[in-house]
Amino acid sequence: MTNRSLTYRTIRRPWTAAVPLLAGAALLTGCQGTGGWLSDAPPSPADAVRVHPDDGAHGVPADHRIEVRVPDGRLERVEVTRAGDTGSEPVPGRLTSDGRGWRSAGTPLALASRYTVEAVALDGHGRRTARHTTFTTYVPEHRIVGFFRPEHRSTVGTGMIVSFDFNRPVRDRAAVERAVTVTARPEVTVAPHWFGDRRLDFRPRAPWRPGTEVTMALRLRDVRAAPGVYGIQHKTVRFRIGRDRTSVVDATAHTLTVRSAGRPVATLPVTAGDQDNPTYNGRMVILERHPMTRMDGGTVGFGGEYDIPDVPHALRLTTSGTFLHGNYWASRNTFGVANTSHGCIGLRDEQGGSPDTPAGWFYRTSLIGDLVEVIRSPEATVAPDNGLGGWNMPWRAWLRGSAAG
């Protein structure tokens, strides 16, 4: 491997939670690492770890089984989850006797839900590869569901933005907006903003105060969202704002400064996007945490240039594919000195992911919802609808995105 870091950019949207509440969703990731695996290249991600239903599948019937299979080697770990009324709920399953397969067991799949599959396998050469897939189950005809984040009873960072991704276009946005309320204790104004006809976000004027208790009241049942289309959700979702922590990446200085309650607690050397593929500027929010994931250039238009099957300590910052992740293939003198990636931010790590490296420490101490701001990069500011980039939109412009006024 050469010492280049990783990212990928794609327009697919891996939103989390639904009703019933669901786990975080993600797509197969791709990231920059020139040279790939050369002649010892592993099989494609879909062949290395085969998952059924397919990644991104919609309308999966309740009687389907979830299956994971590897043609070579063995499965090291399989975790399948759906977010339920008490938070993320594990889906039971069993490994086959040869260790190459896993199949869900027990009750049928829940309708109008999103499922997440996390699998790690060892192939016949002893190489570790990870796969992360999601799918959604059948939503009854003429019904609309809002898949949302964050999860019920979760603790999140001060940058968390409540976000709904609807399974069908919303024509009467004002009616749907009035049926969803987001309130906080201590009290603070929380305003809605529509991005198109399928996405509705809520945020306060400034990042949340630590310790704030937030309540989402979903009263969408039988609300007319479009001609002949009605909501089915009637739930109350609560989450808590954790400690105050933000991180600032200076792309010119090649540093990441971590601040707790406004005070610097650590400065870590990084490698960010190179001159041809600079990292986005602006404020981003940690969307997902993956102890290990696969990043394959073939999934995002980079051909066979790279395929990293075991990227450790991966934190997603945008839906288009910017990650802050561990990097074990770069030489130590890359970090803090040079920007070598296609837009991701790399921290020094070891293969397999070590908790004692900068990447391991940052991952272990991070929360979904933490803010990460990038400064002094030649790239444009990240778009407000790319991940939870709404903090880059001025408050007055945010308020104009309400359909109900």
- 229-231 sheet: strands from edge to edge: 143-144, 229-231, 224-226
How many other CB atoms are found less than 10 A from the CB of residue 86?
10
- Give the closest residue to 343 by CA, choosing from 37, 2, 1, 9: 9
Cβ–Cβ under 8 Å, residues 387 and 285: yes
The residue type found at 166 is F
Alpha carbons 215 and 153: distance in angstroms, whole number: 10
Alpha carbons 88 and 289: distance in angstroms, whole number: 14
Residues assigned a catalytic role: 325, 344
Cβ–Cβ under 8 Å, residues 350 and 282: no
Alpha carbons 31 and 131: distance in angstroms, whole number: 14
Angle at 390 between CA 344 and CA 268, to 5 degrees: 35
Alpha carbons 236 and 255: distance in angstroms, whole number: 41
C-alpha torsion sign, points 135, 54, 92, 23: negative
Which two three-digit tokens encode residue 98? Answer: 């040869």
Which two three-digit tokens encode residue 267? Answer: 């400065």
Alpha carbons 306 and 2: distance in angstroms, whole number: 10
Which two three-digit tokens encode residue 280? Answer: 């986005």
Does a cis peptide bond (omega within 30 degrees of 0) precede residue 207? no
Alpha carbons 290 and 77: distance in angstroms, whole number: 13
